[in-house]
Copies of this chain bind each other. A is one copy, B any other.
């Protein structure tokens, strides 16, 4: 059964971006620290071996992307192709897309809500998982009951400031621990959202 999965690198104190997140400093101060577990030493791209390689391969095997407009625009829709496998990207927004989006055939703006966007993403994913992106979108997906799983890469650091993944949610939500992978770089915990 295909799942809608949120993948997030998070500090122990809950931050997914650091202070001073602005153009020219994307992700804020210390953003690289949050993703060090995934990056090859020496700045040579992503890790391909070990636990990190396996976890990143899972992300690359997803069949569609669901993302909020803020994140999508911040990264220019990943140049039209999120993980270079030609999978469709669904952007949740009440407003029509900007003019440059027409150049990206894989990108679809959905203006009738996150449930509709998720239904389209799951259909397009062809039995593979749907990658959910962005803190705001994750919160709305949780709120509307369309998020199935959460993969947290919990990094042993306290940021003390920045943007938190879980801001105020509408209500108490129970999770089940599906898997814990223990490495010095991060504690990788996968949860199922209970309905």
- A interface residue numbers (CB < 8 A to B): 12-14, 29-30, 33, 142, 150, 152, 154, 156-161, 164-166, 168-177, 180, 182-184, 187, 189, 191
Contacts and interface: CB of A to CB of B under 8 A. Distances in A.
A82 to B, nearest CB: 25
Contact of A14 (B14, B182, B187): B14
A140 to B, nearest CB: 13
Contacts of A170: 160
A187 B184 contact: no
A6 to B, nearest CB: 12
B187 A189 contact: yes
13 contacts: A30-B172, A142-B158, A156-B174, A157-B172, A158-B169, A158-B175, A160-B168, A160-B169, A176-B184, A177-B182, A177-B183, A177-B187, A180-B187
A189 B186 CA distance: 11
Contacts of A12: 150, 152, 166, 175, 191
